[in-house]
Amino acid sequence: MASRVLFVCVGNRVRSTFAEFYLRNWFTKRGMDIAVSSAGFIPQMLTDRLAELNIPSPQPFYNRPMSELTMAALLEKGIRVPKGWRSKKLTLEMITETDLLITALPAQKEDILRLYKKAQKKVFTIRDLSKKDDYLFFEDFSVPPFNENFWHYVEEDPQYVSRTLQTWEQTLIGAIPNIIEQLGIRDREKNG
């Protein structure tokens, strides 16, 4: 049975979807039996901040197509996304069924562990697994404008999304050895 990895970002349209298809492709090319999926989860701190500023979320928030910029970034790497792919909201069933859950933001990890204490041993941030100690652009919520353009900016602004995906890809690459280790799988490239 395949090991299962679940990536979580906020809207499941940029970071987690990029990770889903990028790493699915990476693992498949190396003959590794690892199923990769993604979902969205809004951390309470972001929900509170947006509510405080009366910034509405797109409706529906989930069940939307991948950001066109994310899809284009994947296509540049030769990775195709199935037609009709839609964003998903994180569910308890997803958490229960996955072997490893990786969040984009520390606040997501904290909220998920507060809500689902049994997931303690399988929830990590991408920062945890990449062993990054320095600044990560995609964690910085002082960058996007907290106004009516917030969601468009974080999901569709070419400069912001491009920089987010560049940083995200570098961080993913750094996390791969630790993802494999957490799953208890030997890296076939190193071990033949």
Give me the CATH number covering residue 99: 3.40.50.2300
Q: What is the pLDDT of residues 28-62, one digit of tens each?
A: 999 999 999 999 999 999 999 999 999 999 999 99
Residue 75 falls inside a structural domain:
yes
Name the residue range of residue 15's domain.
3-183
d(C-alpha 172, C-alpha 164), whole Å: 12
Residue 132 lies in a domain: yes
Nearest Cα residue to 182 out of 138, 121, 132:
121
Is 192 within the bounds of a domain?
Answer: no
8, containing H or E segment? strand 3-9
Sign of the alpha-carbon torsion through 27, 35, 139, 186: negative
**φ, ψ for residue 4 (rounded to 5)?**
-120, 130
| 134 band by pLDDT with thresholds 50, 70 and 90 | confident
The mean pLDDT value for 1-27 works out to 96
Residue 190 within any structural domain of the chain = no
pLDDT in tens, 65-98: 999 999 999 999 999 999 999 999 999 999 999 9
Q: What is the pLDDT of residue 186?
A: 64
Q: Does residue 191 lie in a domain region?
A: no
Total residues belonging to the chain: 192
Q: How high is the pLDDT of residue 192?
A: 44
Q: Is residue 188 part of a domain?
A: no
Number of domains in the chain: 1
How many whole angstroms separate alpha carbon 112 and alpha carbon 174?
Answer: 23
Tell whether the model's pLDDT for residue 187 goes beyond 60. no
Q: Is residue 51 part of a domain?
A: yes
φ, ψ (nearest 5 deg) of residue 79: -105, 120
Asked, for residue 129, whether it belongs to a domain, the answer is yes
Encode 103-141: b = buried (16+ Cβ within 10 Å), e = exposed.
bbbbbbbbbbeeebeebeebbbbbbbbbebeeebebbee
Distance CA 3, CA 100 (A): 8
